[in-house]
Amino acid sequence: MDLPKRKANRLGAFDYSSPGYYFITVCARGKENLFWESGGLQNGRPVLTPAGNAVLQCILAIPAHYPSVRLDQFNIMPNHVHLILEILRPGCVEIEVPVRGMKAAASRQAGYPLWQKGFYDHVIRTEADYQRIWSYVVNNHWKWQEDCYHDPNFR
């Protein structure tokens, strides 16, 4: 049986180890609500599950494990994570390496697989693009009810 071909989401000729900002979205396996407690937001902040806390710790550890990568901004949603990462020095690390490392470490810490295969990335090329994406990441939890990944059964 032939499996469906996965759509390539990388720019073919782009060097993903070049300095700059990268917007990353990583989805939970099956888009399950693994990262927030069912109560949603309390005092404007999500209440994280143990898996969500594992993800938080692994996101915060990215710069320690990859000194040429700066964690600019992130938001942990119920079933996905948004990151803005900055590569500081050329050729030190491709953007997929810290993302793959964070995913593996969070799953290991949680004790079970957390993630779908792969991730979405967007190379941020302009200041306007950066401002739009930064605002989206910071405010995404406020718009959870409208999010394309929202599960209407999740409260």
Tell me what the pLDDT averaged over the chain comes to.
88
- Residue 61 domain-assigned (yes or no): yes
- Residue 31 domain-assigned (yes or no): yes
CB 83 within 8 A of CB 96: no
C-alpha to C-alpha distances, 109 to 36, 57, 60, 73, nearest whole angstrom:
16, 9, 14, 22
**Residue (of 132, 120, 116, 108) closest to 54 by Cα position:** 108
The structure tokens listed for 6 are 């996965």
Q: Residue 96 in 3-state DSSP?
A: helix
Q: What are the pLDDT digits (tens) for 93-122?
A: 999 999 999 999 999 999 999 999 999 999
Q: Whole-model pTM?
A: 0.86
- Residue 119 domain-assigned (yes or no): yes
Q: Residue 72 in 3-state DSSP?
A: strand
- Residue 15 domain-assigned (yes or no): no
- Residue 86 domain-assigned (yes or no): yes
